[in-house]
Amino acid sequence: MSFWERMEKLDRRWVYLAVGIAVIIPFILPTPLPISITTEAQSLFDAVEALPDGSNVMLVYDYYPSTIAECEPIAIAACHHLFRKNCKIITLSNIPYGGPSMAEKITRMMADQYGKTYGVDYVNLGYKYGYVAVLSGMGQSIESIFPADNSGTLLSELPLMDSVKNYEDIAFIFEIADNATADYWVSIVNAQYGVPIGCGGTAVMAPKFYAYISSGQFVGLLGGMRGAAEYEILINKQADAVKGMQAQSLVHLLIIGLVIFGNVGFFVTRSKQKRGAA
């Protein structure tokens, strides 16, 4: 069996081992790599930057715990940027599976860093079933959909919510999603109420969201860990996403290498078989 034939029939356990090594190496030997900024990330940054200080912003944690590696750095970077601009943050989630907990954990952690007070500078509305109904209903009254926050405190007892009744009081929506809820933010909230939306999503979802970029329904887009890394660079707070890009770089190169080796092996084997048949 030739080298190329062996490469084509490479045992998958070697592939697993190679991926494992490619992920671990950058954490042992970190090599900072220059990351350029895409126009989509720059537009999102500019849109947030252009908000007047103290604006009310909705930060939506529409992702499952499984995609924390990609979405959490986006959420942390968004909190840095928004709290730095003294924006008032209203968080919520359309994901029953841990969404409100992630919103609680990240926003509280970032709020502590910036000395922000719960109820005054930020509020976690939590989760409510039925995202289409929730998004539609908040257009008329947030309080009718979320009478209480995530921990059960009535909205009427939270000073921030005195000035936030519906989407008219929201200057910007920062949606972080790993699923199709982002589509409903576009079709219900942006299209019907005209609130500008910026989106951070997983790399798998990003290609779909390009349709909303060119139509202007998303002001900007952060695609996966790369998008998070770009935003970290833009806000000058390089953290997990920038570090993670090193591992992602090696794994992408490894996969491309494996595809090339597999294809060369495939063609070599096929030409041998053809010659044998002739």
Burial class (CB in 10 A: 0-12, 13-18, 19+), 84: middle
Which residue's CB is nearer to another protein, number 114 or number 136?
136
Q: Measure the CA–CA gap between 11 and 255, rounded to whole angstroms.
A: 15
Please pick, from the candidates 56, 150, 181, 190, the single residue that binds another protein as defined by CB under 8 A.
150
Please pick, from the candidates 37, 120, 154, 259, the single residue that binds another protein as defined by CB under 8 A.
259
Q: Tokens at residue 166, please?
A: 């519906």
Asked if 139 is part of the footprint of another protein (rule: CB under 8 A), the reply reads yes
Which residue's CB is nearer to another protein, number 50 or number 256?
256
Whether the CB-CB separation of 235 and 212 falls below 8 Å is answered with no
Which residue's CB is nearer to another protein, number 173 or number 213?
213
Tell me how far, at minimum, the Cβ of 145 lies from another protein, in Å.
Answer: 6
Which residue's CB is nearer to another protein, number 38 or number 51?
38
Please pick, from the candidates 187, 239, 240, 268, the single residue that binds another protein as defined by CB under 8 A.
187
Binding track, positions 13-52, relative to another protein; x by CB under 8 A: --xx-xxx--x---------xxxx-xx-------------
Asked if 268 is part of the footprint of another protein (rule: CB under 8 A), the reply reads no
Asked if 273 is part of the footprint of another protein (rule: CB under 8 A), the reply reads no
Bridge partners of residue 154, in order along the sequence = 148
Question: Phi and psi at residue 105, in whole multiples of 5°?
Answer: -65, -50
Whether the CB-CB separation of 189 and 204 falls below 8 Å is answered with no
Asked if 128 is part of the footprint of another protein (rule: CB under 8 A), the reply reads yes
Tell me how far, at minimum, the Cβ of 176 lies from another protein, in Å.
Answer: 15
Site for another protein in 166-185 (CB under 8 A): 183
Nearest to 237 by CA among 51, 82, 112, 117: 82
Asked if 152 is part of the footprint of another protein (rule: CB under 8 A), the reply reads yes
Site for another protein in 209-228 (CB under 8 A): 210-211, 213-214, 223-224, 226
Site for another protein in 49-108 (CB under 8 A): 64-69, 96, 98, 100-102, 104-105, 108
Residue 187, number of CB atoms within 10 A of its CB: 14
Report angle CA 87, 65, 83 to the nearest 5 degrees. Answer: 10
Q: Measure the CA–CA gap between 213 and 217, rounded to whole angstroms.
A: 6
Stretch that binds another protein, among 9-17, 46-54, 80-88, 157-165 (CB under 8 A): 9-17
Please pick, from the candidates 25, 51, 251, 268, the single residue that binds another protein as defined by CB under 8 A.
251
Residue 161, number of CB atoms within 10 A of its CB: 23
Residues in the chain: 278
Which residue's CB is nearer to another protein, number 34 or number 52?
34
Whether the CB-CB separation of 92 and 123 falls below 8 Å is answered with no
Rounded (10°) CA dihedral 90, 94, 100, 102: -90
